[in-house]
C-alpha cells in the first residue's frame, strides 16, 4: 500500500517565477492538506481540499493556490515566488475531515528560490 507521494523531490526556481507541486494521497484517503515548513520551524497549514474544493485556508496570500482532482490527487501552485517561499512543502492526506483522524504525510518537496 503506497503512502503519500509527492513530486518533485527538489526544485530550484528564480524569484518571480511560478511553481507547481504535486501530491498523491494514501490509498483510500480523500482529503489533502498542504503545509509549509521553513527551516528549523514546525509546519504551517496552507489549505485543505476535500471533494475538489478548498475547505479551509491558513494565513497565506492568494499567490498560493491549489486544486484537487477527481482521483483525490492535488496540486499546489505558487505564483510570483519570493525568496521567503523557500521551504519544505508537505502534503498530508486523511479520510474525511474528522479532527481526530490522523493525517499521513508525504516526504515533501524542497523548494529553493534564488
Partner 1 sequence: GDSVTQMEGPVTLSEEAFLTINCTYTATGYPSLFWYVQYPGEGLQLLLKATKADDKGSNKGFEATYRKETTSFHLEKGSVQVSDSAVYFCALSDSSNQGGKLIFGQGTELSVKP
What residues make contact with partner 1 under the rule CB under 8 A?
A: 4, 31, 33, 35, 40-45, 48, 50, 55-56, 58, 90, 92, 94, 97-108
Least distance CB 19 / partner 1 (angstroms) = 19
Least distance CB 82 / partner 1 (angstroms) = 22
Q: Radius of gyration of the chain from Cα atoms?
A: 13
Contact 55, 48 (CB under 8 A): yes
Contact 63, 79 (CB under 8 A): yes
Q: Which is nearer to partner 1, 14 or 42 (CB)?
A: 42
Q: Which is nearer to partner 1, 34 or 78 (CB)?
A: 34
Q: Is 21 exposed, middle or buried (0-12, 13-18, 19+ CB in 10 A)?
A: buried
Least distance CB 90 / partner 1 (angstroms) = 6
Q: Which is nearer to partner 1, 14 or 96 (CB)?
A: 96
Q: Name the strand (E) or helix (H) holding 31.
A: strand 31-37
Amino acid at each position: 500500500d503506497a503512502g503519500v507521494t509527492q513530486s518533485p523531490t527538489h526544485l530550484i526556481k528564480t524569484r518571480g517565477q511560478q511553481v507547481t507541486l504535486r501530491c498523491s494521497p494514501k490509498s483510500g484517503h480523500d482529503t489533502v492538506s498542504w503545509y509549509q515548513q521553513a527551516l528549523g520551524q514546525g509546519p504551517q497549514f496552507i489549505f485543505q481540499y476535500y471533494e475538489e474544493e478548498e475547505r479551509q485556508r491558513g494565513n497565506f496570500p492568494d499567490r498560493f493556490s491549489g486544486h484537487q482532482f477527481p482521483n483525490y490527487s492535488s496540486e499546489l501552485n505558487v505564483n510570483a515566488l519570493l525568496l521567503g517561499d523557500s521551504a519544505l512543502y508537505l502534503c498530508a492526506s486523511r479520510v474525511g475531515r474528522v479532527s481526530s483522524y490522523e493525517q499521513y504525510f508525504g516526504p515533501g518537496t524542497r523548494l529553493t528560490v534564488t
